[in-house]
Amino acid sequence: MASHRRPKPPTPRYAGVVTATAAAAVALSTQSASADPLPDPAKKGVQARVDRLYEQATQATEKYNGAKEKADGLRAEVAALQDAAARKQGELNALRERIGTVAAGQYRSGGLDPSLQLFLSGDPDSYLERASALDRVGDRQTAVLQQFLGRQRALQQQRRLAADKLADLGSTQKELGSRKNEIQGKLREARRLLDTLSAKERERIAADEDRANRASTRVSLGNEASASQRAAAAFAAAQSRVGMPYVWAASGPNSFDCSGLTSWAFRQANVSLPRTSQAQANVGTRVNSLSDLRPGDLIIMRTDLSHVGFYAGNGQILHAPKPGAQVRYESIARSGMPFMWGVRIG
């Protein structure tokens, strides 16, 4: 990829705003110290606390994504089990009708076979153990009744499996609700903290975020090739999403969280990845050194593996970093997140 222009130095007007803001902050802190020697915890380090809340929200988002992926899989399994149970019930009903027809014919002929009397008594499961005492049981009839009992047991097993999966789904849906509340609580607390800042402080934070977003148009990535065509295609798809907003639990095409971006991009390259960063950390081939990464390799970040992005070349990561940010390029060294390892998809 061709290199882009370097970032422009701040304009004098902007530099003046920054200087004025810094001077105001110093004046305020001096005034506060003279009036009250104790620091105000509601004002001190607000940005760091907000960043920590955003980090916790993204970590909870990956747990939410994992629970949602599990819930989606359980719903599919339950539907398949219920469909199979319905088919088995239909087969059982047809076989029961067949046996009933035989019994009705025997009754009209003057008597009901003792084996059928036993079978139709309401306790067919004990039939095969007791049928050996009956002299008039034929091999063909025994085979039909064995088939019925086998299908009945299979139906019962299918229903038990469906019930177990439904119970799992219920507990997983509770976890989804808990994770959602956790994420929304972190984001509400972050907004509350930001609201405690002055208008100028909020403007400075917004300007910093805007500058980081706009820096993606000027980043230099070098010209190193991807390790595979699939990785190149996925990376190109992710590059087309630069500027799209971070939204928790979103997986495209117009908003993303971190693993939502990587899984969406690889789907465009006809590669299916797990939904969470922790699961994506264990696919493909591990690359342990930053120096061995190629554009399009996944980068796994944080000790709990709760963040993922694309290696973009020249020490840059392409990712959806946090709430309030956009999909963008950033320096890995300045991301504030420890690099764990890379993942190469062939």
Q: Is the dihedral of CA 319, 325, 331, 333 positive or negative?
A: negative
First CA to last CA across the chain, in angstroms? 21
Whether residue 105 lies in the annotated active site: no
**Beta strand pairing call for 298-301 and 285-287:** unpaired
Query: Do 223 and 1 form a contact (C-beta atoms < 8 A)?
Result: yes
What span, in angstroms and rounded, lies between the C-alpha atoms of 251 and 272? Answer: 13
Q: Could you give the C-alpha distances from 186 to 65, 125, 175, 289, in angstroms and in order?
A: 16, 57, 17, 33
Strand ranges, E, within 24-101: none
Catalytic: which of 319, 322, 328, 344? 319
Whether 319 is catalytic is yes
DSSP calls for 31-52: HHHHH-SS--TTTTTHHHHHHH
CA distance 265 to 240: 9
Is there a catalytic annotation at residue 157? Answer: no
Count other C-beta atoms under 10 Å from residue 281's C-beta.
22
| Catalytic annotation, residues | 258, 307, 319
